[in-house]
Amino acid sequence: MRYLRLLGAFYRTSIQTDMEYRADFFTRIIASLLGLLTTIGSLSVAFTYTTNIKGWSFSHVMVLLAVYYLMDGLIETFIAPNMRNIMAQVREGTLDFVLLKPVVPQFMATLRTINIWRIANILVALGLAGYSISRLSLSVGLSEASSFAITLLAGTAVVYSFWLFLVTLTFWFVRLDNIEQVIWQAFEAGRYPIEIYPYWLRGALTYVIPVAFIITVPAKALTGQLAFSYSFVALGMGCLSILLSSAFWRYGLRFYTGASS
């Protein structure tokens, strides 16, 4: 209860900050649409030469793309701004102030801000999802919707944990801010069906950087290609990843020394 109130205070101030940059919302929408158009454009370039790529039709790839953008929006709205902050704070030593507060540090560090204008990405993604599902004339029932929601939540948890794990590494290797770019790029692999990749890469994208889990699984849930029971397996994996990464974070905190001794 107390933590919910805190979360309210955190989000309120960061939304106030963002209100000063209202124009950002429109640049976001534009950037998001442009990114989407580029991807759809490049896919449609490939699809002008063939009607299916490794068994995926254009419309199915679009559903996948929608999930990709949805996840991207969730990450950029809720997770990424905090994780980037932590890396900067470790570098500048201002993480001290987080640790000095009578609040669980992980809570305060990873949920402190919200990048409200990135909601734009989420809106664009939802629009695309609606459009591509109607193109496929699929009916999305309660079980598809709930299994989609569960797998999406589990995917978000995995992304959060993955990022927390990397951020924790900055306690030892101070300058890892660029790593974000890499994850972002690896994450990009998720916008295409995993089947197009060579065998070994498919393994890496499933187990090392679990892009397949984060994007392909919810996309399959949405189009009714996933057994409902599997969504609970996914949920379990999400919880497990949170537990492991939090433990690692707490361990790493012991090695945080601040910017100056």
For residue 196, the minimal CB distance to another protein (Å) is 4
Which residues form the interface with another protein (CB under 8 A)?
Answer: 2, 5-6, 8-10, 12-13, 16-17, 20-21, 24, 27-28, 30-31, 34-35, 38, 41-43, 45-50, 52-54, 92-94, 96-97, 99-103, 105, 108, 173, 175-179, 181-182, 185-186, 188-189, 192, 195-198, 201, 254, 256-258, 260-261
For residue 237, the minimal CB distance to another protein (Å) is 25
Nearer to another protein, 76 or 144 (CB): 76
Nearer to another protein, 80 or 152 (CB): 80
Maximum CA extent, the chain: 62
Q: Which two tokens stand for residue 185?
A: 């790029």
Nearer to another protein, 85 or 241 (CB): 85
User: Please, are residues 140 and 206 in contact by the beta-carbon 8 Å criterion?
Assistant: no
Q: Which two tokens stand for residue 57?
A: 């039709």
Nearer to another protein, 182 or 227 (CB): 182
Nearer to another protein, 2 or 229 (CB): 2
For residue 195, the minimal CB distance to another protein (Å) is 8
Q: Which of 208, 176, 161 is nearest to 189 (CA)?
A: 208
Q: What is the DSSP string of 153-195?
A: HHHHHHHHHHHHHHHHHTTTSS--TTHHHHHHHHHHGGGS-GG
For residue 123, the minimal CB distance to another protein (Å) is 15
Nearer to another protein, 92 or 145 (CB): 92
For residue 99, the minimal CB distance to another protein (Å) is 6
Q: Which two tokens stand for residue 76?
A: 């950029």
For residue 1, the minimal CB distance to another protein (Å) is 11
Beta-bridged to residue 52, according to DSSP, are 57
By the 10 Å C-beta count (0-12 exposed, 13-18 middle, 19+ buried), 121 is classed as buried
For residue 149, the minimal CB distance to another protein (Å) is 28
Query: Whole-angstrom Cα distance, residue 215 to residue 186?
Result: 12
Query: Whole-angstrom Cα distance, residue 223 to residue 62?
Result: 11
Q: Which of 188, 22, 221 is nearest to 120 (CA)?
A: 22
Nearer to another protein, 94 or 146 (CB): 94
Query: Whole-angstrom Cα distance, residue 216 to residue 64?
Result: 7
